[in-house]
Every structure is written in C-alpha cells, then in structure tokens.
Amino acid sequence: MRITDKYKQLNVQMHAEKPMYGVGGGFWAGAIWEFALKIGGRTCLDYGAGKQWLGKSALKRHMRVTSYDPCVEEISSCPEIKFDIVICTDVLEHIEPDCLVNVFADLDYYSEKGIFLAISTRKGEKIMADGRDNHLIVKSFEWWIDQFPCHWEFEKHGEDDEKFWGVIRKKQKPKKTVVCVLRAGGDFTTEYVRRLYDGIARNTARNFRFVCLCDVEFESELDFIETRTLSFDLPGWWAKMEMFKPSMADLGDFLYIDLDTIISGSMEPVFDVDEPTSLRDMLAPADDNLNCGSGLMFLTTKFRDIIWHKWREDPDQHMIAAARYGDQRFLRQWLRRWRRWQDVLPGLLISYKKGNAENLGSQGASMVIFHGRPRPHEIAWKIGIDYSSNFYWANTDGTKNITAGKTEWPEGFDVIGELQRMFAAGETISEFGCGYGRLVGAFEPSKYKGFDINQSAVDSARQKNPEFVFNQIDHPSDMGISKAILAYTVLLHISDEDITDCINSLCGLSERIVVAEILGKKWRPSIAAQGDVPVFNRDISEYSQLFNAAGFWLHYKIAHDYEHYPGAKITFLDFRRIGSD
C-alpha cells in the first residue's frame, strides 16, 4: 500500500485548500537536468507531483515529464511503463511510515537509470485537518540512509539545515557512442539526424552518446545531439571520411550509421557488438564477402587511425580510383576482413528493397536500410507502421458511415452542439480522420482543416464542403501544428501495435487533443460483428496512460448514450499538454 484512504483524503483536502501546497517541484529542474545529462535520461516520472510545477518548468523542453500523485485526481493513475529517471522531491517526509517500504519499491521499480531525491529533515509548516504536522517523518540524513534499500548507493549532492538531496544511479551497461554524417546540398536534412536519434532513443534503455559531423548549422531539439564540424569540404559521400580524422579519437570506439536508416526495433543486440564489423552489400548473396557496405560500421580507434593515414596519402587519387562506388570501395581493403552484420545479427538488418519492407514492414528487424532510392522521406518514413498501403482505411470506401446505420447521425444526440460547446468560437481545429466532412458544421471554415488517409474520403469532403480545407495524409505527423486536434471515433480503429506511435505523433503537433470514443475493450467483438471494419476499443485507463506518457493529462470528460449501440456511450476526452494552461 502506498497510502491509506484516510490519509489520502487529508492530502486531497490540503491540495484543495492550500494553493501553494505541492508547488516545489520546479525548483529542482536544473539539478535534475544536470543529472539527466550525465546518465542519458530522456524520460522522467515526477513521483508525488502535487501541482505539477516540475512538469511546467523549463525541464519539459528537454525531457518528457510524466506526473503521478495519488492525491491529485487527474494524475492519480499508477504508471504502467518505466522511466529513465524517477524524481521524488519533498515527498518522502510526507509518507506514512508503514508505507515507506512500498514507496521505495515504487521508486526502484519505475526507474531504469536513476532516482533523484530531495528529503526534508525538519518539521513542516502546515497542519493537516486532523491536527498532525504534514511532515509525518522528521529524521536525520543518517536515519534515511539506513532506511534506503540495501542495493541503493546514494550520492549526496547537497545538505542544509532543512533538507538533503542527491541521486541513486542504476547500474548500466557501458555507454555507447553513435556517429552520423550530414553533408549539405544532398537529399539529407537535419530531419534525418533527429529521426535517427529518436529511433535509437526509443529502442534502447542504455545511455548513449550521439554525435553528428556536419557542415550545416542547426539547433537540435534535444541537447543530447552533439554536433562537430566537417572541415575538409569533401564532396558527397566522401564526407564520411572525416569520422576517421584524429580529432574524433576522443570518442573512442563507436558505431557509425548512415542517415538513410530507419530504426525499427531494439538496439540492444546492435550495441552489444564491440569488434570491427561492416555490412555485406545489401544486394549481394549471403556468401559474398568481397562487396562490402559502409552504411553501418563498428569502428575501433585503432582501425580509424590506420584508415585515416592511408587516406591522407592522396585523397584526390583515392576519390578518382573509387569514383563509381564511393567511400565503401576505398574502405573495402579493411572492411572485407571484418565480420558482417548480417552474420552477427541474422534477421535484424533488412534491406528496404530486397527485404520487401514496403509491403511487409520491418519484420522484427532492428534496422531497415535503404541504400539508394527511395529515400526514407520519399515514402513518408512508413516502416513497420504503415498508415497508407497496409492500412484498411486507406483503401476502403471513404464515404461510408462506419456505423453502417441508415442515418447520417446514428449517435442519437447532438454531436455538432457538443463539439461547439467543447471548442471556443474561433479556435483553430485540425480533425484527424475527417472522413467525408460530417462534423464541419461545428466549425468556422477559416478555422478548420480536415485530414484523412483515404483519398476518396477527402475528395468527397471537398465536393460536399467546398468552403472547407481537406488534405490527404499518410501519417498523423503529416498534419502540421494546430491549436487543437479532434479525433472523433478514429483511435478505436488504430491497431494496438500502432496506437502509441499515433498518439505520440498527435501530441507532438498540439497542446490539446480531444478524443471521442466508445470506451471499453468489451465492445470490440460486438462492434466488429456489425461490420467488416477493424476495431480496437480501449479502456479510459489505457488512453490516460498513453497520453500521460506523452506529457498530457485528462482535463475534462463527458459521455453520451450511443443510440446505434444500445448500452454503449460515446465519451469525449479532452487531453491538455501539462503546463499549457
């Protein structure tokens, strides 16, 4: 038990009556960020978040902050995922002594890389309704250290006459370094760098360093992306040779990845490789060890030094001799002696073309390698999660009503009126899954844009509502930024495999997402039985968890009986970005 019901109600009352109760989290943002940089923390759980001031602080620009507090209704659901770092500041002294061991267990369970603690050692300044001091535990630093789980190694970062603070680092595998190269003037942009980094970060729990050698100035959205300058003005693919230069020696052994690579699965087996390794040419037979690829290499400092000295003997002549096949022809004299990724990690690297990834997706691979046309951006980055060619709704009759009812409004309640009540007049709206434009009557033409993956639905919407704007998209991220996004009975048609990516994409575009759904997994078989459409109804707790993980909280909800499905309700869920209001 984390908290007794009686004590929970006392804290709920404190939060309601005292506006400044539970507002100290933001004070620690700088120290938390410094800790995160050291251990590679990208996500964090604010455990005992109170008024959620940490989630509203500048830390949200750098990390994904999720808030949890059993005494604050909108963030009272226990997280279902783990986080790089768990933050627990000015909380533990408030815990009931008999529950302390369970709270320690929570902090340990939810943290992958580390824990940041700040604990008061003095009496509190507030009295609860039952007459007790709100600091239930007033003990010294030494007492707290004795209470911590025996496997915690606490590093004290500071102490004064009121509190102490510090961190617990979880044991991690050795830090890995990843390098990529971006040369201006070609097909690749900073978007490729960001997507490569994001793909790795999503698919490993390890701390890693990410370095981009480039000749363009760009501000990384994440401080974890380091940039170093290309200094030799080598043309095209030859710019990769600069990763062998002596000034890169401080990086030690590292993994090089071409930008035309999509990370589609776990990076753990890739990071486990620690010997010189290169690709077999992606189109070559399995027994061909002559034709090598340089798109993915594990490079040791020793070999980089050898290769650089050979290259500097006569760079111009090397480029002329290998002009047709580029850097990998020059590098072949070393690469052909190394192990092949395809042999070391069979099945975990596939070619977009040869592996038929266009139709079959990533097939469980860690990486999809493009090696030529098309480039990833030319197929809208659609690997593993395909919202166009492999998705039912892209090819179905885009004009049909998914309820299969005989009326355009099978809900049996005033949908347009409800939407007008939810959205302020003049508020800019993007509708994800607009279909043929059934809901546009709730909005002003100049403030609305509709998006759908089905071209025939978009064509029909344009014909029926010429004063409104409608666009066909292949992925939610194609919509662009909007003040608010509406997804009306859409997410229940997104598969369980794709829903996380879909919601994360939507949350990256707006500060407000309004979802309307028939909630409850129990409805999956009954709704599916009434038509041929794929349905994936979910419980409200699942949506709350998915949106919480993306930095959103449930601001408001309202439900209406759904006439077409007796006993069912359509529930409107209004999610807001934490700190946006």
Span 167-209, pLDDT tens digits: 999 877 777 999 999 998 888 998 899 889 988 887 887 788 8
Which of 45-59, 120-134, 355-369, 497-511 is the least confident region? 355-369
Neighbour tally for 446: CB within 10 Å: 10
Instruction: Give the three-state DSSP class for 479.
Output: helix
Sign of CA dihedral 137, 142, 148, 154: positive
Q: Is the pLDDT of residue 461 over 90?
A: yes
Span 502-556, pLDDT tens digits: 898 898 888 899 999 999 877 766 554 454 466 788 889 889 989 988 888 888 8
Which of 122-136, 212-226, 375-389, 544-558 is the least confident region? 375-389
In the block, tokens 């604050």 appear at: 72
- In this predicted model, which residue has the larger pLDDT, 151 or 497? 151
pLDDT at position 501 is 83
Distance, CA of 159 to CA of 161 (rounded, Å): 7
CA angle 296, 301, 305 (to 5 degrees): 100
Residue 170 identity: K
Span 283-341, pLDDT tens digits: 777 777 778 889 999 999 999 999 999 999 999 998 998 877 888 889 988 988 899 99
Residue range 376-384: average pLDDT?
75
Is residue 58 very low, low, confident or very high in pLDDT (cuts 50, 70, 90)? confident
Distance, CA of 27 to CA of 24 (rounded, Å): 6
- In this predicted model, which residue has the larger pLDDT, 321 or 223? 321
Backbone φ and ψ for 186, nearest 5 degrees, come out as -110, -155
Instruction: Give the three-state DSSP class for 390.
Output: coil
Residues 6+ apart with CB under 8 A from 331: 278, 292, 294, 307
Tokens representing 312 are: 């500097």
Quote the distance between the C-alpha of residue 370 and its chain's center.
23
Neighbour tally for 228: CB within 10 Å: 17
Backbone φ and ψ for 560, nearest 5 degrees, come out as -130, 145
Q: Taking each helix axis as running N to C, give the angle between helix 301-313 and helix 327-335, from 0 to 180 degrees, rounded to the nearest 10.
A: 130
Residue 77 identity: S
CA angle 335, 338, 343 (to 5 degrees): 115
Q: Is the pLDDT of residue 146 over 80?
A: yes
Cα separations (Å) of 89 from 27, 34, 100, 117, 119? Answer: 10, 15, 15, 5, 6
pLDDT at position 405 is 46
Is residue 212 very low, low, confident or very high in pLDDT (cuts 50, 70, 90)? very high
Residues 6+ apart with CB under 8 A from 108: 115, 149, 152
Average pLDDT, the chain: 86
- In this predicted model, which residue has the larger pLDDT, 34 or 533? 34
Residue range 99-104: average pLDDT?
94
Instruction: Render 295-350 in DSSP notation, one character per residue.
Output: EEEEE-HHHHHHHHHHHHH-HHHHHHHTTTTTHHHHHHHHHTTSEEHHHHSTTSEE
pLDDT at position 393 is 52
Q: Is the pLDDT of residue 4 over 60?
A: yes
pLDDT at position 581 is 55
Question: DSSP letter at 142?
Answer: H
- CB 282, CB 212: distance < 8 Å: no
Distance, CA of 247 to CA of 259 (rounded, Å): 22
pTM of the model: 0.53
Is residue 418 very low, low, confident or very high in pLDDT (cuts 50, 70, 90)? very high
Distance, CA of 165 to CA of 86 (rounded, Å): 14
pLDDT at position 388 is 33
Is residue 402 very low, low, confident or very high in pLDDT (cuts 50, 70, 90)? very low
- CB 433, CB 451: distance < 8 Å: yes
Span 471-508, pLDDT tens digits: 998 888 888 888 899 999 999 888 877 888 889 889 88
Q: Is the pLDDT of residue 93 over 90?
A: yes
pLDDT at position 407 is 65
Instruction: Give the three-state DSSP class for 255.
Output: strand
b/e sequence 1-40, b meaning 16+ C-beta within 10 Å: ebbeeebeebbeebbeeeeebbbbbbebbebbbebbeebb
Sketch out the chain's domains with CATH numbers.
5-169 (3.40.50.150), 176-379 (3.90.550.10), 393-577 (3.40.50.150)
pLDDT at position 580 is 63
Which of 231-240, 353-362, 426-435 is the least confident region? 353-362
pLDDT at position 207 is 80
